[in-house]
Amino acid sequence: MNHIVILDGKRYWKDPKGNLVPESAVKELDKFEDQTVRKLVVLAEEYQQAGIEFKGKIFNEVREFIELSATEYDTVIQGSKGGASLYAFNGEYRIQYSVADHINFNNSLAIAKQLIDECILSWSNGASDEIMALINRAFSVDKEGSINVRNVLSLRSLDIKDEKWLKAMDAINDSIKIIGSSEYIRIYKKDELGKYRQIVLDFSKL
């Protein structure tokens, strides 16, 4: 976007509303501020592009190593599922590669909720406060109307032998729908105490 306009040989600066302000009316401090901001934005965009290129390079090289290591066992890795940890020979550096699925639920989740409600009604003493809190948390929705996947899946870890409850857990399993996946790479370096410290790289937003 051109912030300076020349009309009839005179220079004008555009203000936030698009009005043209004669250059002579723009304060020197405002000019210096504009110059500083524009210079830093250019540097930021260059840094962002370098980050995008580095992200692509590091992911490609890690994937290539995983594929190469698979040939040692005469096998082919299907897709990008799973993960791997790569180490420098002396253990000083570690690169951790992981893949996380994005999970949603289909209509079977409503069946699971109905079965759970029926379980609670059938139990003579109802459910304990702790179990009720877990159930209510699992099926509560956020501001966007979404259910927290982790809270729902946590119900499967409860040690309840009721037949209807077990059917509800089967319904939860059947309701799980994989809608995509994300790859992550974390890079670590050992500090003076021999503990791995992460080298922070915010790849998730690039």
108 near 170, Cβ under 8 Å? no
**Average pLDDT of each block of 10 consecutive residues along the chain (206 residues)?**
88 93 95 97 94 92 87 62 84 92 90 90 77 88 83 91 91 92 91 94 70
| Whole-structure pTM value | 0.63
25-69, pLDDT tens digit by residue? Answer: 999 999 999 999 999 999 999 999 999 999 999 999 998 888 888
Q: Cα separations (Å) of 151 from 70, 91, 136, 191, 193?
A: 36, 37, 10, 36, 37
- The phi and psi torsions of 6 (rounded to 5 degrees) equal -110, 120
